[in-house]
Structures are given as C-alpha cells and as structure tokens.
Amino acid sequence: MTERLDAWLARIEQAHPQVIDLGLERVAEVWRRLGSPRPAARVITVGGTNGKGSTVAFLDAAARAGGLRTGTYTSPHLLRYNERITLAGHQAADGEIIAAFERIEAQRDGVRLTWFEFGTLSALLVLADAGLDLAILEVGLGGRLDAVNIIDADISIVTTVALDHGQWLGPDRASVGREKAGIARAGRPLVVGERQAEPALLSSAQTLGARVFRLGREFDWFVDGQGRSFRHGDQPLLRLPETLPLPAPCQWDNAATALAALSILSSLPAPAGAGQRPKAAPRLDLTAAAAGLAQTRLSGRLQQLASNPDTWLDIGHNSQAAQMLAEWLQGLPPARTEVVFSALEDKDLAGIVAPLLPLVARWHLAGLDQVTPRGLSAAELSRRLAPLIGPERCRCHASFADALSAARQGAGAAGRVLAYGSFFTAAEVLRAGA
C-alpha cells in the first residue's frame, strides 16, 4: 500500500509541477464538485509564521482530553506523508488517503491542482468522513490565498507574524500581517497569539468584522503561588500543567492561545446542519482540556533526541524562530554548544544564524541539495556563512550523519548539540538516526 500512496503523490506532483500557485479559484471549484464537504461539526483554522504546528498539537491534545473527537491537518510532514492527517491522534491510513485522491481525480475534470491543493482536498474528505466534533486545520503559506481558506472556520487563530516567504507574502511585517488576517471571518472569533500583535493584522481583522481576542488582553497565562493558571475574560481560572512537553518558553503562549480558542468554542451555540435543528454536541470539559496540554506530542519542536551530549532538534527556519532558539539556549546551564545546520536557498541565512552566534562554539554544515531543488550544498552554505560565523567555526560534512557525529564529538558528553534550519534539516537528522 505504501508504494501505491507514493505513486499517487508522484503523479499529483507531475500533474502540476508548480509547487506554489496561490489562489482559491481552482481548489474551491473542485471542492464544490465534491459536495463542499465540511471537515467536522466545528472547525478551527490556525495560521501564522511560527507556532502554528505547536498550537495545532496543543489544540488537539487538549480537545481530546476535554472529550471531543478531533482530527487535524498540518503541513509539511517530516518523514511520512500520513503525518499530515490525524484522526483521534492517529495518522490516517494509506487507504483512506488514496480513496480521497481517487474521489478528487474523478471530479477534477481538467482543473489543475497543485500538490498542496490536492493534499488539502484529500484531508478535508478524510476528516469529513470521520464524523468528528472538531477539525483543526493548519494554514500553509500565508493565509488569505491558502487552499485551507476555502473553509469558513468557526474560530481562526493567528499565532505570530514575522518575515518569511517574502516573494509571496510581501517585504515587511505589515504585508505578512494582512495576508495572515485573511483567514478571519466577519462576526467570528479571531484569536491572536502574539503579545506585540502586528497593527496591520489587527486593522485588517477589524475591516473584515472579526471578533478579536488577544493574548495579554482578553486572555493570558500567569504564575501565582499555586503554579501556572489561565484566564479568559470573566470565566473561572484554569490551572495549567507544571510543565509542557514542548520546552521552549514561547510554548506557554501557544498553549494559552489554544486554550483560549477552546474556551471560546465551548461558549458557541451548537452547530446546525442545513435545514436541521442544532445537533447535540459533546460538552467540552475545559478543566480536563487544560490538564490535557501535558499530553501534547510533536516532533521537531525542540525535540530531545539523545543524551551525553544532549542532542536537540528544531525546525526553526526564520529569524523569529532563531531568536526563540537563542532565548531558550540562554536559559540553559552553560555548556559547549555545537550546531548542525542546513537551510534552503530562499531563506534569510544571516537572520537564521545571527541570534545564535554568541552561543555556539562551532557550526557543522550539511547539504540539502540532494534532497530538494531549493536546498543548498554544504560548500555553498559555508561560502555564504563563513564571513558571518568565521571560517574557523565552520565545518562542511558529506552527510548529516557525519555532521552529527562530529558535533557530538566536539561537544563532549557534558556539552550540547542543536540541529536546526528547516523541516528538511529535521527530517534528514531523524533519518540519520539521531
């Protein structure tokens, strides 16, 4: 069955080789031909620059702990395509995805869909067939013109706004913020998970008529004598777990953002089907949901892979993510830190590297040029980064396995190794058996 799914994925990629082709007309047309399937009784969409995947994971774990049947759609995946679609915490089976592909192909009738659009439609079908209480959809690149935005979500979330994908989203934070705001809907909640929210995001949401709930304003988490708590308006306080499985300090903001969305969800009237009376929806237990944040699992977000030396993996691939990594490192006990790094050619390499420069002893570079056409070779990485890092601190390696081995040796048992730079970097490190 795996070969069949791989063959389908290759076929879809060849049918429309342009990887990114923003716009909703094509995908919306095929979605209508499929019967406009709604992926669940309730839908939350999650957009933003960083923190989307973590927030989806928190939402899923908390909602399931609170008694809801959930499904998720995320992108990209690390090792297996099936990671993109989960039902009750389990990856969708090959057969479920293939059946969805076949239905799409039967209705496509000449409409050209990108690989991502095809995948998004298949996820909507798989989720819709599962009879879920809640579908959680991660928005891919941007927001307004992303394929996921054909769905009118009950609640939308924007986690953070930062520069990334400038060739599609614009050259500044304001441009990116306006694109991210495009997932909001008139009269419906938009949860903003960034304390210093981009003004253009907020003004665009206001123009759209969304009801905005902001971290640090309408909801927040705080520490008191009994531990951490969450507040949302006049609702009773919720106690949070002592620790989160995702260790970066910023994850408390993401967890609070997820909990705010679920708190709002619990206050919405029961959904109604077309021409039907409102359905009896399962009650969401918010106390159990808050405790359920401790059950969150997500690969590639400051994931510890090994000890002696401590070896960590992160997907961070833009300057905002690098700054968060630097803040995390600064909060750890002093130790020699060596980095395994690789990145894509269209990224701001200086922005991804600079925040960590004072904290890293040596950089071990491995190439992604054999993995993706957008990947840089180790030699090209060195050429671009050596003036910033210093030639004596850069080492090129023929493989990620070699880079990891050298970084561990350099760090020593008491040191620390961090691998980051892109989703592709994270996948290759996992394949190397770290």
Same domain, 247 and 307: no
Compute the distance between CA of residue 324 and CA of residue 251 in angstroms, rounded to an integer: 10
Are 141 and 159 in a shared domain? yes
CATH number of residue 318's parent domain: 3.90.190.20
Q: For the chain, what is the mean pLDDT?
A: 92
Same-domain check for residues 233 and 311: no
Q: Please state, for a pLDDT cut of 90, what percent of the chain lies above it.
A: 82
Whether 216 and 132 share a structural domain: yes
Residue 102 sits in the same domain as residue 193: yes
pLDDT in tens, 412-422: 999 999 999 99
Closest by alpha carbon to 146, among 123, 164, 120, 165?
A: 120
Q: Do 65 and 181 belong to one domain?
A: yes
Q: What is the mean pLDDT of residues 97-114?
A: 94
Strand partners, 238: 230
Predicted local distance difference test score (pLDDT) of residue 1: 45
**What's the DSSP call for residue 391?**
G
**pLDDT band at residue 277, thresholds of 50, 70 and 90?**
very low
Average pLDDT over residues 190-205: 95
Query: Coil, helix or strand for 317?
Result: coil
Give mean pLDDT, residues 289-304: 97
pLDDT tens column, 34-65: 999 999 999 999 999 899 999 999 999 999 99
- Among candidate residues 274, 295, 316, the one where a domain is terminated: 295
Residues 280-290 have pLDDT tens digits of 567 899 999 99
pTM of this prediction?
A: 0.94
What is the reported pLDDT for 278?
44
DSSP 148: G
pLDDT for residue 169? 58
62-102 pLDDT, tens digit per residue, is: 999 999 999 999 999 999 999 999 999 999 999 999 999 99
* Residue 20 scores a pLDDT above 70: no
Strand partners of residue 44 = 136, 155
Query: How far apart are alpha carbons 258 and 93 in whole angstroms?
Result: 27
Q: Let me know whether 110 and 198 are in one domain.
A: yes
- β-partners of residue 337 are 416
Q: What local confidence, expressed as pLDDT, does residue 3 receive? A: 60
Q: Is the pLDDT of residue 374 over 60?
A: yes
- Give yes or no: residues 13 and 43 share one domain: yes
pLDDT at residue 275, as a whole number: 43
Task: Say if CB 331 and CB 249 are below 8 A apart.
Answer: yes
Q: Which of 240, 270, 295 is the last residue of a domain?
A: 295
Mean pLDDT of 368-379: 94
Condensed to tens digits (0 to 9), the pLDDT of residues 306-354 reads 999 999 999 999 999 999 999 999 999 999 999 999 999 988 999 999 9
Structure confidence at residue 433 (pLDDT): 77
Question: Using 50, 70 and 90 to split pLDDT, how confident is the model at 263?
Answer: very high
Q: What was the pLDDT predicted at 142?
A: 76
Q: Over 80: is that where the pLDDT of 118 sits?
A: yes
Is the pLDDT at 15 greater than 90? The verdict is no
Query: Residue range 355-372: average pLDDT?
Result: 96
State which H helix or E strand residue 288 sits in: helix 286-292
Which residue range forms the structural domain that includes residue 329?
Answer: 303-431
Same domain, 234 and 315: no
Same domain, 99 and 126: yes
For residues 211 and 155, the answer to whether their CB atoms sit within 8 Å is no
Residue 62's CATH number: 3.40.1190.10
> Is 60 exceeded by the pLDDT of residue 155?
yes
Closest CA to 382 of 407, 364, 361: 364
Whether residues 279 and 249 fall in one domain: yes
Mean pLDDT, range 230-248, rounded to an integer: 94
Domain boundary among 295, 311, 344: 295
In the chain, what percentage of residues exceed pLDDT 70?
A: 93
Provide the pLDDT for residue 276: 43
Tell me whether residue 337 is exposed, middle or buried, using C-beta atoms within 10 angstroms of its C-beta: 0 to 12, 13 to 18, 19 or more.
buried
Total number of domains constituting the chain: 2
pLDDT at 249 exceeding the cut of 80? yes
* Mean pLDDT, residues 384-403 taken together: 95
Instruction: Look at residue 283 in the predicted model and tell me its pLDDT.
Output: 87
Distance of CA 362 to the CA centre of its chain: 29
Q: Please check the confidence at residue 152 and state whether its pLDDT lies above 70.
A: yes
Which regions of 205-348 does DSSP assign to beta strands (E)?
211-214, 219-224, 227-232, 238-239, 303-306, 310-313, 337-341
Q: Which two tokens stand for residue 421?
A: 């730079």
Same domain? For 79 and 204 the reply is yes
